[in-house]
Structure 1
């Protein structure tokens, strides 16, 4: 198993994993990442600027999922954890924790002081992971593109 940076050939499979996960959670709705214009071309977004990265989890040549970090509030050195999704078969193996740790490490090295994330009450397993990993509940920050999200967390790095 390896965690590596995104490349353009990952775009179709990652978009499929993210959409399938949102469909499973009954979140294939406007106001979620399901309808993001950049979802079908994640590599272009994450490779466009320093301070952004999308990590892909791969096992035996198969992409199992990924997670990203990008600027949210540069003036206050806040990054956002974005699009942490795994295939159904990859869940329950502690892989989200590995990806989250990799994202935290990247954000810290990139100079961010906090890592913010938005989630939804339907994603109970993810919410539990964030709490176990030291994220604290907070108010949503201004500037979000995902209006349906209703759970917000932040962690000091």
Structure 2
């Protein structure tokens, strides 16, 4: 995989099926529960539509037409304040350890700030240690309890970052 053919770009309708497959494959690979996580989100099968709100954005990593990862931001519902959530950030094994996670984080956080969000929240699982390290390196700090109600009750690591 050459860096010349890797593109981080906004999702298109043609990517919906591929990114849904990527997210579900990664969750299964990591042993995540299928309930209470993104695995069961109906939004996975219509990501372009899900992120069509002007305050939402989803990006994919495209390598010659193959989607190998993605991440997005959207307003965090049921929370007071100007908070977005980093959502559905998953990468296939070939994307891990390549610096693409850091680039994707930068892309999402820059967009969140440009959209006027003041904080970015995320939820993850305790055994997703590489992801948690990346979040901490990017400035996210741990919370004692979740914000809002994302429906991801199996995710019990909560983090936030001031933008």
Say yes or no: does 1:12 pair with 2:12.
Answer: no
Give the aligned partner of residue 96 of structure 1. Answer: 101
Distance in 1 (alpha carbons) for counterparts of 2:75 and 2:128: 23
DSSP-derived class of the 2:8 partner: strand
**Structure 1: which 4+ aligned runs deviate by more than 3 Å?**
none
Report how far residue 142 of structure 1 moved: 2.7
Report how far residue 144 of structure 1 moved: 2.2
Say yes or no: does 1:85 pair with 2:85.
Answer: no
Give the aligned partner of residue 70 of structure 1. Answer: 74
Give the aligned partner of residue 3 of structure 2. Answer: none
Q: Deviations over 1:97-127 (max 9, x none)?
A: 1111100000000010000000001211101
DSSP-derived class of the 1:146 partner: coil
- Ranges in structure 1 where 5+ consecutive residues have no aligned partner: none
Distance in 2 (alpha carbons) for counterparts of 1:75 and 1:109: 19
Aligned residues: 156
TM-score computed with the length of structure 2 as normaliser: 0.92
Identify which range, 76-85 or 90-99, moves more after superposition.
90-99
DSSP-derived class of the 2:42 partner: coil
- Ranges in structure 2 where 5+ consecutive residues have no aligned partner: 1-5
Give the aligned partner of residue 152 of structure 1. Answer: 158
Are the counterparts in 1 of residues 76 and 148 from structure 2 also a CA contact under 8 Å? no
TM-score computed with the length of structure 1 as normaliser: 0.95
Alignment of 1:1-157 (within 5 A): 1-47=6-52, 49-73=53-77, 75-138=80-143, 139-157=145-163
Distance in 2 (alpha carbons) for counterparts of 1:29 and 1:122: 15
